[in-house]
């Protein structure tokens, strides 16, 4: 992440995504809080993001877009319930980020099949990289 505003934007997008099913589960909040801590966002600022919906900044670097897509996918699986609205929204977000829809579909399927709902970083990057060939 290059700037503080990009970090804020990333969190805003994640918060909006977490609320797409109409409620914020404890696990989703905990996950968001961990991301905020990792990004060195003050807790007060983090809480303000739930009230102030700002404009989301486009992530320029493909690696960071893939990371953000994966964070959103992890967030989607946090509460143990996959809502149709979440599935639709994550695809919409990924396409708006310029990510390959086939790669996104493969990643989401691997996550669904994984008992931990996680995908190794090397596999994640390989899936998106092979779409360039």
Instruction: Provide the residue ranges of all domains of the chain, joining segments of one domain with +.
Output: 3-52, 62-130
pLDDT at 80: 81
Spatial CB neighbours of 70, under 8 Å, sequence gap ≥ 6: 107, 119, 124
pLDDT at 27: 92
CA dist 133 and 128 (Å) reads 10
pLDDT at 90: 93
Residues of the chain short of pLDDT 50, as ranges, are none
pLDDT at 52: 77
């Amino acid at each position: 992440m290059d700037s503080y505003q990009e970090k804020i934007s990333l969190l805003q997008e994640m918060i909006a995504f977490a609320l797409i099913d109409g409620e914020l589960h404890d696990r989703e909040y905990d996950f968001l809080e961990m991301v905020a801590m990792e990004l060195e966002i003050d807790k007060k600022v983090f809480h303000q993001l739930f009230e102030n919906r700002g404009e989301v900044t486009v992530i320029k670097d493909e690696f960071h877009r893939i990371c953000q897509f994966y964070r959103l996918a992890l967030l989607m699986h946090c509460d143990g319930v996959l809502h149709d609205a979440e599935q639709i929204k994550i695809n919409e977000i990924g396409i708006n980020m310029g990510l390959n829809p086939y790669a996104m579909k493969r990643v989401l399927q691997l996550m669904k099949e994984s008992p931990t709902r996680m995908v190794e970083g090397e596999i994640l990057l390989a899936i998106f990289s092979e779409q360039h060939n």
